[in-house]
Amino acid sequence: MSSQSDGKWIQFLINLSMDIDGRVSNSNKHSTQVAQWSRSTARCLALPEEDVNRLYWAALLHDIGKVGVPNDVLTKRGPLNEREWVMMKLHPTVGANIVKSSITLAHIAPVIYAHQEKYDGSGYPEGLEGEAIPLEARILAVVDAYDAMTNDRVYRCARSHEDAVQELKSQVGQHFDPCVVDTFLEIVAT
């Protein structure tokens, strides 16, 4: 792929990501906000700038794999059934495969692939736990969860900042890396 066509592909993916955000929320800004907060968190954790940039791009495109999930599943009010969960759990794999098609973005695929992993190993697609999950994906998981909780979705109203903070704290060591949660909460407290 030439650099010009790769640039067009990247712009297409950004637009698609914003469209997916708009399908599940009243705004198409979820991924942009997650990318900005992820970058800030990574810098506070003193990650090298190369890793910060990789995380920024991965966060911007983290839900791109939802392109294959039907709208009725993305917007469903209530719990997903087993078939719907299977579809939803594929989105990190699909997303990683999509960005691998770009020479420029291929390096962000592992972060997108692992962003639904949980610190205690209960996540997907691999069931990785703790330090086996790339740090960028652990950051993305915290920031993504906070932003999803504090913004309206088509299937539920936003939670307050305080409620979201309590939820993050309650999941420390289970879903989320304790150090990442502490760092992120310092950022959103200011």
- What is the set of active-site residues? 66
C-alpha to C-alpha distance for 148 and 25, rounded to whole angstroms = 9
Q: Which residues does residue 153 pair with via DSSP β-bridges, in sequence order? A: 25, 156
Q: What is the largest CA-CA distance in the chain?
A: 47
Q: Give the single-character DSSP code of 176.
A: B
C-alpha to C-alpha distance for 129 and 131, rounded to whole angstroms = 6
Q: Is the peptide bond before 79 cis (omega within 30 degrees of 0)?
A: no
- 3-state class (DSSP) for residue 153: strand
C-alpha to C-alpha distance for 183 and 185, rounded to whole angstroms = 5
Q: How many angstroms separate the first and last alpha carbons of the chain?
A: 43
C-alpha to C-alpha distance for 109 and 134, rounded to whole angstroms = 11
Q: Give the single-character DSSP code of 159.
A: P
